[in-house]
Structure 1
């Protein structure tokens, strides 16, 4: 991602800078930074920018139906392409509607540039119409926020925001620009001088720490590479593959790291965590060495943190020093960019290996035994309805690894993470840290804009879909032919699962009445038709493949498939919240342990 350098506009022979409006300065700055697509919706405080936007064609603007959709679309765009996603909104409610997407991007380290209009600077602090302190509101959920009151400050603010969003640990940055700053005229100086004295991301790790980690790898008997989403953000998948194959160490990829390491690789044990595979969960739990690469020891991975991997030495690699030892104390802390650190670790391991040969044979015997005993699978529903796992598995098999899969949040998210095989990075998009319902459809839309030649699926639940499905209109009007698979169990499935397991089956307010034994409210096929999409309903297993193939063959409009699935299907394996990972349950009444060797 390009970063502006420090210019010297007063150098001999330099021409006088052009005088342009603040709005034109925003557009020109974005264009200079390589931005080609933005998502947004106009309003009173951002009208000057939209007036300028209409007069140019270098940047494509996608008019969304809700600002949250703009934010998630920008996230999907960024996550699919490794480029900075850009979302635009007006002041007040327009800006606050972006907050959920900004928080989502912050939790998942997504490079997002949010540009909002603000009331006239002379009115700020007076509770003016549609005034909101969006800089203050977003302070805890952004890497940084800028308030711009003068037109001449716009190029530096936009360039600085882009630089901060895309370097170090990526994340969201907000630029709030008053209406008068957009309207006023000022010299346009590019590249601007970036004055960021407190921002110095560390990318190169300390060599001795890397050597110490390499020696631990050689000496370990039960090591694991614990791979997080930071490996994808660092574009370090090739380096990870080289390290894994050089060491022969088992690999687990978190929910945010699916695709960072090929699922088909023999060293891959799958996803760890609350709904991870048994081999992945117990590999971490029983290890004597964990090499954490771009992961943050999230509670969904560790279970009860005080009982997580009690015998493991921890090597923690992260570009963000604030993550090191935040949850689990690191024995060898390594601050640096994952791409560089992993490459250095591969070299250091080769050197350490020359002195002694590591022996992981017994470890692999145990892990392979777990693979054989506890393969990922599912049971056919007793009610005769579709198995959601089968539906999602067939979507992945018929689409293939070159597709992009954006999931909502809940049971369908976990099944999509489990039953689709990911062979490359940036193929799996989801809301991991924030767990934002409504993420899927706009994120898929953004991914399709970024990667128009790829098949893009939104795998959504009937609950999530009803939060942001209005963006189907955006897709139809702008020729963004995403495929939407609604895993319709007529309920808020993950909450229902917890109610079944932990609340004696008291299904309190989780029935959505979208199918099954009730009238379909709404009827998703009619809704798809109303939005100009192709709507299909599937209720039998023998209809699944034909529906998916029809969706794959339809590229002139969005497609919505309403898969009516069993509401009693559950996500397994499962580590109940607040217990040790040793208590992972393969099915409702089966918790495998180390003794099952």
Structure 2
């Protein structure tokens, strides 16, 4: 059948099973939006308040569902407003297709109105990108974009389409999407046997789970693997939910704000089994002092990650789920009773500090966990609240914590929460933000109210840029340069002005009452939770020091330091 380029875009989205698109229209992409209007029964479009919100919403949709998220924007500033969201997805290996429109082919390179080389601008932050200047290339390019976004190590792909291509016509034939197979070509019997032998020889093994295990949806295989190896398990921020937060083997997060048990245990272990993690500096601390007593086994789908930050003594390259299906058949059940007892003693000795006598970040997260029975999808912005969400909510499944790990994007959470809710309408979806983050993209609350998307926004409001202030307190002589936000901004009034139900709470009881009501109302709600400006995240590892140097507030007090 003969279709124009805009019709082809819509038909290709249908081929790929896309049911929701997040975006913002403009001049060059109007033809595509006209077709979206005609196909609104098949594809739901969410008009965001800002294009960055569209990218974050598509990202949240992708992370929480495992599907490819799709966002759209017009040329020039519309396209550049997607950049932060695309970079966020790139750093965390999120499958995303961003569709932008550009000026007509004849206007390229002439400084036309709202012209930008978005392909050049996004080249370093996409898995791949394209500019489509000919109608013949449109359908093959879109199909290739989805395949690239989903295959191997996922990532964002940008497709820029000139306006004339959206209007030109060509014969179109629908095609069934290619099957995406799990990457296993580089898994060898020798590598599998080597790792199985190292496991058999180990006395003190430790398993570190990263985001790759979430992407691979390998939770069943990881839990079986941990049982076979008889090892404790820690995770990175991106690896939450692969091992249940209530599992007796689980020791908590590793790294800068990881538990002492995880940091000390990894330092003491003789074999570190790393499943889909990239050894971020926030995980390793000083890389030269990381897991020096251990042989390191690194299992990852991306060969470029092997030996990039930490030298591996053995490695297996392939999809985590596929690797563990094979490896679990080779590993004979181990018994490390003394080691597991030692880890359990450390967990009892070094618990996370939770004080519910007053409203604090940890108290908010603990109440949220209890009231939602640990079943909510939690999105976060970036900062202290993000770390508290990682520490105190016990995640039971992959894709339950949706957060910006690699890029650390303030303003990520509201859009991501909208995207998560659109992909998981049966789940309670809660975004946790600090007041500094909420200021950045709180306009997306208007998106939630426009469509009555029942997200719950919790603002942990300490009237400062909390994480930066924490560093200023500990390492910069309490010189609070530009981190105090104690002004006249009223989040309750602003949220009500955008159509949301809003609460201000100052006690644990008030918070719990507001949260229960927000869940029952099932409408967009904002809870402004007021906490002390000097609440801090502990444990903490100073930058560029060994994770074995993790300290708590009690440690600082014992040294006579007033924080």
Per the normalisation by structure 2, the TM-score is 0.96
Contact preservation (8 Å) 1:308, 1:581: yes
Q: Shift in Å at residue 150 of structure 1? A: 1.4
Deviations 1:163-182 (A, max 9, x none): 00011001100000000010
Correspondence for 1:375 among 337, 351, 375: 351
Correspondence for 1:95 among 62, 69, 79: 79
Cα distance in structure 2, aligned partners of 1:553 and 1:287: 47
Cα distance in structure 1, aligned partners of 2:234 and 2:413: 24
Question: Does 1:49 find its partner at 2:32?
Answer: yes
Question: Does 1:560 find its partner at 2:526?
Answer: yes
Aligned residue for 2:389?
416
- Is there any run of 5+ residues in structure 1 with no aligned partner, and where? 1-17, 515-520, 593-597
Aligned residue for 1:344?
326
Please give the secondary structure, in 2, of the residue aligned with 1:104.
helix
Aligned residue for 1:573?
539
Question: Does 1:524 find its partner at 2:491?
Answer: yes
Please show how residues 30-179 of structure 1 align to structure 2 within 5 Å: 30-56=13-39, 57-179=41-163
Q: Shift in Å at residue 49 of structure 1? A: 0.5
Deviations 1:440-478 (A, max 9, x none): 111000000000110000111101111111111111111
Please give the secondary structure, in 1, of the residue aligned with 2:265.
helix
Contact preservation (8 Å) 2:414, 2:442: yes
Contact preservation (8 Å) 1:203, 1:340: no
Question: Does 1:582 find its partner at 2:548?
Answer: yes
Contact preservation (8 Å) 2:446, 2:499: yes
Aligned residue for 2:292?
310
Per the normalisation by structure 1, the TM-score is 0.91
Cα distance in structure 2, aligned partners of 1:257 and 1:427: 10
Aligned residue for 1:452?
425
Question: Does 1:535 find its partner at 2:502?
Answer: yes
Contact preservation (8 Å) 2:376, 2:400: yes
Contact preservation (8 Å) 1:87, 1:115: yes
Contact preservation (8 Å) 1:40, 1:67: yes
Contact preservation (8 Å) 1:401, 1:424: no
Q: Shift in Å at residue 359 of structure 1? A: 4.3
Q: Shift in Å at residue 548 of structure 1? A: 1.1
Contact preservation (8 Å) 1:232, 1:426: yes
Question: Does 1:401 find its partner at 2:374?
Answer: yes
Please give the secondary structure, in 1, of the residue aligned with 2:8.
helix
Residues 380 and 399 of structure 1, relative CA distance in 2, 3 Å threshold: closer
Aligned residue for 1:283?
265
* Count, aligned residues: 556
Q: Shift in Å at residue 250 of structure 1? A: 0.8
Aligned residue for 2:512?
545
Question: Does 1:299 find its partner at 2:281?
Answer: yes
Question: Does 1:474 find its partner at 2:447?
Answer: yes
Cα distance in structure 1, aligned partners of 2:414 and 2:427: 16
Aligned residue for 1:321?
303
Contact preservation (8 Å) 2:16, 2:177: no
Cα distance in structure 2, aligned partners of 1:25 and 1:491: 49
Cα distance in structure 1, aligned partners of 2:48 and 2:186: 40
Residues 201 and 149 of structure 1, relative CA distance in 2, 3 Å threshold: farther
Cα distance in structure 2, aligned partners of 1:130 and 1:206: 51
Contact preservation (8 Å) 2:22, 2:55: yes
- Is there any run of 5+ residues in structure 2 with no aligned partner, and where? 559-563
**Structure 1 stretches of 4+ moved >3 Å:** 199-204, 378-381
Please give the secondary structure, in 2, of the residue aligned with 1:176.
strand
Q: Shift in Å at residue 376 of structure 1? A: 1.0
- Over the residues paired in the alignment, what is the CA RMSD in angstroms? 1.8
Deviations 1:179-218 (A, max 9, x none): 0010100111332999x9xx99555611210111111111
Contact preservation (8 Å) 1:156, 1:192: no
Please give the secondary structure, in 2, of the residue aligned with 1:571.
coil
Please give the secondary structure, in 2, of the residue aligned with 1:589.
helix
Please give the secondary structure, in 1, of the residue aligned with 2:130.
strand
Contact preservation (8 Å) 1:204, 1:340: no
Q: Shift in Å at residue 240 of structure 1? A: 0.8
